[in-house]
């Protein structure tokens, strides 16, 4: 019997790093469980042993945890319905397959791959959809025993009767399928491993999963799974199928469009809070229209019946904007912790923690990705690299005049007092405006270009305050 408490699951296959689409499915399951006071289960579907790897499993764990989508039950935390890796459940599936054979819902199939390929070719030649011919359905016991005596190991097929199958999808509403179009499908391979559609039903049934929320690419699997539930005498969970995530050109989202794995987004400097927030908006909309929300706020507002059944467009530009908003608003201590790994190309030990936080504080305003800090903070850690526009500005007589005075005045700056530095720079701008007619920005361009090698960047007073008197004088003296 299905649990009276909401139980949902995320069941990724460890055949690749966690895809952003799978992360969205995980998020919506997590939000539904959180909203309803239910339980959220992680199950690893690694029956395809050739494609599965421990590295991918670890990436799934790490990526989900980085997003904060921690599970109540799973391979690493246990639970009363384990094991939570399909590869550790291989002794379970044959029992249920035999049960279906005994009840007349399944049968042994001795067809070779060559036999099945031939049937496929014949269907293609006739331009009709392929369905298994059922040539093994009515084999007698003697015929089956004779084939086994030859060393032929059978697969097991589910017998599909013709009927109209109707179910209510939580996202798409009422869906109907003509099961006569399905054909008898395999539930156990001849090598003893279960097929996806069989394993997932047995696992969901035994783990008492009440709601299956997943991508619409699984819709074609749903009628097969419902038929197996019914044959096993099990209660059918409620299904909800999400629209797909497409690239901006409306093709399938792939690496040619940009990052697609959660771990790749994190490596590029996307904040997990921003990534989670953005993904939540792919197929769901907040009731108050405010898009910047933390996961608790999203969960409180989450309504599964209002998920969009349409495909969603993954707009990298919007994600970048949202990430920038999170960077601007994040607590500076936490942001510094996240930023420092991106600055490991520099010797950050030359600054105190307080100054490192100040560096991040004054450079974070324009950036959209943490990796942008490598460029934006360079002049704090290394001698300035003079860009072409800065070189041109520094060649001018105006700049030479400004820097000649600045070099003398700077000896009187109190570099440890940010307000003093700010006021003295204001005095410098006023002096050149009143006595030479220089525009304030022209005066500051000269100073900025000499100290940083650039025409734009962080607040100039903050830069001088952070660099300190000795370093500033050394840069002013450099040829």
The CATH number assigned to the domain holding 227 equals 3.40.50.620
Q: What's the confidence (pLDDT) of residue 2?
A: 65
Q: Assess whether pLDDT exceeds 90 at residue 243.
A: yes
Told to judge if 350 belongs to the known catalytic residues of this protein, a careful annotator would answer: no
In a domain, 274, yes or no: no
Q: Assess whether pLDDT exceeds 60 at residue 1.
A: no
Is the same domain home to 148 and 212?
no
In a domain, 369, yes or no: no
pLDDT digits (tens, 9 = 90+) for 455-468: 999 999 999 999 99
In a domain, 370, yes or no: no
What CATH number is given to the structural domain containing 416?
1.10.10.350
Q: Classify strands 106-109 and 245-246 as parallel, antiparallel or unpaired.
A: unpaired
- 3-class DSSP state of 287: coil
Phi, psi of 7 (to 5 degrees): -130, 120
In a domain, 217, yes or no: yes
d(Cα 115, Cα 134) in Å, to the nearest integer? Answer: 12
What CATH number is given to the structural domain containing 117?
3.90.800.10
d(Cα 429, Cα 441) in Å, to the nearest integer? Answer: 8
pLDDT-derived band at 259, boundaries 50, 70, 90: confident
Is the same domain home to 179 and 97?
yes
H-run or E-run covering 305: none
As for how many domains the chain has, the answer is 3
pLDDT digits (tens, 9 = 90+) for 397-454: 999 999 999 999 999 999 999 999 999 999 999 999 999 999 999 999 999 999 999 9
Q: How far is CA 318 from the centre of its chain?
A: 15
Record the pTM: 0.91
In a domain, 368, yes or no: no
In a domain, 287, yes or no: no
Is the same domain home to 99 and 125?
yes
Q: Assess whether pLDDT exceeds 70 at residue 271.
A: yes
Over residues 297-326, the mean pLDDT reads: 94
In a domain, 207, yes or no: yes
Is the same domain home to 174 and 102?
yes
Which domain range does residue 178 map to? 93-188
Residue written as tokens 């992360």?
A: 23
- 3-class DSSP state of 44: strand
Is the same domain home to 68 and 109?
no
For residues 148, 149, 152, 157, the Cα torsion angle rounded to the nearest 10 degrees is -10
In a domain, 43, yes or no: yes
Q: Assess whether pLDDT exceeds 70 at residue 98.
A: yes
Choosing from 95, 150, 176, 255, the catalytic residue is 255
Is the same domain home to 162 and 205?
no
> Which residue from 49, 39, 110, 137 is spatially nearest to 80, judged by alpha carbons?
39
Is the same domain home to 138 and 214?
no
């Amino acid at each position: 019997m299905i649990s009276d408490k909401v139980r949902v699951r995320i069941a990724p296959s460890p055949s690749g790093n966690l895809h952003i689409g799978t992360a969205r499915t995980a998020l919506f399951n997590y939000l539904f469980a959180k909203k309803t006071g239910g339980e959220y289960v992680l199950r690893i579907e690694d029956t395809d042993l050739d494609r599965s790897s421990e590295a991918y499993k670890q990436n799934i764990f790490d990526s989900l945890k980085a997003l904060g989508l921690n599970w109540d039950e799973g391979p690493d935390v246990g639970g009363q319905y384990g094991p939570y890796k399909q590869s550790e459940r291989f002794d379970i599936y044959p029992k249920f397959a035999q049960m279906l054979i005994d009840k007349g819902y399944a049968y042994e199939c001795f067809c070779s791959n060559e036999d099945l390929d031939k049937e496929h070719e014949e269907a293609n030649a006739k331009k009709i959809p392929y369905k298994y011919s059922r040539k093994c359905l009515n084999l007698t016991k003697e015929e089956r025993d004779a084939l086994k005596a030859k060393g032929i190991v059978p697969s097991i097929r589910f017998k599909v009767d013709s009927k109209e199958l109707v179910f209510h999808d939580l996202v798409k509403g009422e869906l109907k399928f003509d099961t006569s179009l399905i054909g008898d499908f395999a539930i156990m391979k001849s090598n003893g491993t279960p097929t996806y559609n069989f394993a997932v039903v047995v696992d969901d049934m035994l783990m008492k999963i009440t709601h299956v929320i997943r991508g619409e690419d699984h819709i074609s699997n749903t009628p097969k799974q419902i038929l197996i539930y019914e044959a096993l005498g099990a209660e059918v969970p409620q299904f909800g199928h999400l629209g797909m995530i497409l690239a901006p050109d409306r093709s399938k989202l792939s690496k040619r469009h940009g990052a697609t794995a959660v771990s790749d987004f994190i490596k590029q400097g996307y904040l997990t809070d921003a990534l989670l927030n953005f993904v939540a908006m792919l197929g769901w909309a907040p009731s108050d229209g405010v898009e910047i929300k933390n996961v608790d706020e999203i969960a409180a507002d989450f309504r599964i019946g209002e998920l969009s059944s349409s495909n969603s467009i993954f707009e990298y530009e919007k994600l970048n904007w949202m990430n920038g908003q999170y960077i601007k608003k994040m607590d500076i201590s936490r942001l510094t912790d996240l930023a420092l790994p991106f600055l490991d190309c520099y010797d950050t030990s030359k600054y105190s923690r307080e100054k490192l936080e100040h560096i991040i504080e004054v450079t974070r305003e324009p950036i959209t990705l943490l990796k942008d800090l490598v460029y934006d903070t360079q002049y704090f850690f290394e001698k300035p690299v003079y860009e072409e526009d800065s070189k041109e500005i520094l060649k001018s007589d105006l700049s030479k005049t400004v820097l000649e005075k600045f070099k003398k005045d700077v000896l009187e700056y109190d570099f440890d007092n940010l307000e003093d530095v700010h006021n003295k720079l204001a005095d410098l701008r006023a002096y050149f405006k009143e006595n030479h007619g220089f525009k304030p920005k022209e005066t500051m361009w000269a100073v900025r270009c000499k100290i940083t090698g650039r025409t734009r960047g962080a607040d100039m007073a903050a830069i001088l305050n952070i660099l300190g008197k000795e370093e500033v004088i050394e840069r002013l003296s450099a040829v």
